[in-house]
Structure 1
Amino acid sequence: MVPPSADSVHVLLKQALRADDNVSLLTCLYNRDEKVISKSISLLTPADVVKLLKFFVLQIQSRGAVLVCLLPWLQTLLSRHMSSIVSQESSLSLLNSLYQLIDARASTFKSALQLSTTLDYLFSEIADDEADDEEFAPPIIYEDKDTDDEESEVDAMETDGEEAEEQELGDVTDASEHSDGSEIMSD
């Protein structure tokens, strides 16, 4: 997809301002190309400048995340058209609102930065403690005590014991019964 040119963004921006179409305005403002921003802002009339400034203030009040897209546009708007903005009495209240919004955001930034720093410090301490615990932890040894292995060991011990008894007894001479109790047949 080909990015819009400065001429097409300028035309769309003017149309959106005159129609009060916020969706089209946001579409224009998502363009971050400095040349497009500069040309589009420079071609605005003083009435369009005030409308755009009003839109910026409303967007900053309601949706803070859009501020990232608005900042380059707002900076260019103020630097190019500040004299025409200040000359209109209706725009002074907009500038005051804009100043208060920026001041409120800046004041929360300091406390948010302190909170972020504190959390980073606490999480690093937790990670260090876990690393220390792992260094001094005794090794874990797993012993498999399977019942099949135990039975085979017991069988092996019983077999060894029977062999030892047979060696001690030597040859069996007169036995009338087998070890299981059945009678021995004699000739």
Structure 2
Amino acid sequence: MAPPSADSVHILLKQALRADDNVSLLTCLYNRDQKVIAKSISLLTPADVVKLLKFFVLQIQSRGAVLVCLLPWLQTLLNRHMSSIVSQESSLSMLNSLYQLINARTSTFKSALQLSSTLDYHFSEVADDEADDELEPPIIYEDKDTDDEESEVDAMETDGEEAEELGDVTDASEHSDGSEIMSD
């Protein structure tokens, strides 16, 4: 299925704004293509801009998860239509509400970031301690008992004695009857 074009999203966005259809409006806002967002926002009338801004404020107040989808649209809306928004008195209270909401949401980031950093630091220390435990050199016990050394020397002597017991090496070129076996 092909993603919707900027023209179709713009038409659906206008219809949803005029019909106050929040489901269709959210469907449009889930589109994250920057070209589609820019074209759809640029074609809105000043009345539609105020309605969309009001919708953004209500969504930010009620749902935090949708904010991820709304931010690119909100940023483009404010960049493209700020002069028309500021010129209408009814939108100034919405901008104030929007500012307070964003300020309240971002004020918790500093303490959350500090908590996250502290937890990361403590967990890294725990992980380092576990890694240090694993890297301890093994304990090697050296037996100073000479019985083992003597048995090794005895084994070497035994190997030599076995060679002597086998006897001398004979020349196999002559058979026992004195004839040569095979010679070149």
Q: Could you state the TM-score of these two structures normalised by the residue count of structure 1?
A: 0.71
The verdict on how the C-alpha distance between 1:183 and 1:85 changes in structure 2, with shifts beyond 3 A counting, is closer
The verdict on how the C-alpha distance between 1:154 and 1:72 changes in structure 2, with shifts beyond 3 A counting, is same
Task: Indicate the larger mover: 86-95 or 144-153.
Answer: 144-153
Q: How many residues in Structure 1 have an aligned counterpart in Structure 2?
A: 184
Q: Alpha-carbon deviation of 1:124?
A: 0.7
1:87 corresponds to: 87
Q: Alpha-carbon deviation of 1:130?
A: 1.8
Unaligned runs of 5+ in 1: none
Q: Alpha-carbon deviation of 1:67?
A: 1.2
Q: Alpha-carbon deviation of 1:148?
A: 32
User: In 1, distance between residues paired with 2:50 and 2:176?
Assistant: 113
The verdict on how the C-alpha distance between 1:173 and 1:91 changes in structure 2, with shifts beyond 3 A counting, is closer
Unaligned runs of 5+ in 2: none
Structure 1 consecutive aligned stretches of length 4 or more whose deviation exceeds 6 Å? 136-166, 169-187
Q: Alpha-carbon deviation of 1:132?
A: 2.4
Q: Cα deviations across residues 48-91 of structure 1 (Å, max 9, x unaligned)?
A: 10110011111111111211111111011011111111111110
Q: Alpha-carbon deviation of 1:98?
A: 0.5
Q: Cα deviations across residues 104-130 of structure 1 (Å, max 9, x unaligned)?
A: 122111111111101111111111122
Q: Cα deviations across residues 35-54 of structure 1 (Å, max 9, x unaligned)?
A: 11111101111111011001
The verdict on how the C-alpha distance between 1:45 and 1:153 changes in structure 2, with shifts beyond 3 A counting, is same
Task: Indicate the larger mover: 136-145 or 35-44.
Answer: 136-145
The verdict on how the C-alpha distance between 1:76 and 1:163 changes in structure 2, with shifts beyond 3 A counting, is closer
User: In 1, distance between residues paired with 2:6 and 2:183?
Assistant: 119
RMSD in angstroms over aligned alpha carbons?
Answer: 10.0
Q: Alpha-carbon deviation of 1:23?
A: 1.0
The verdict on how the C-alpha distance between 1:64 and 1:164 changes in structure 2, with shifts beyond 3 A counting, is same
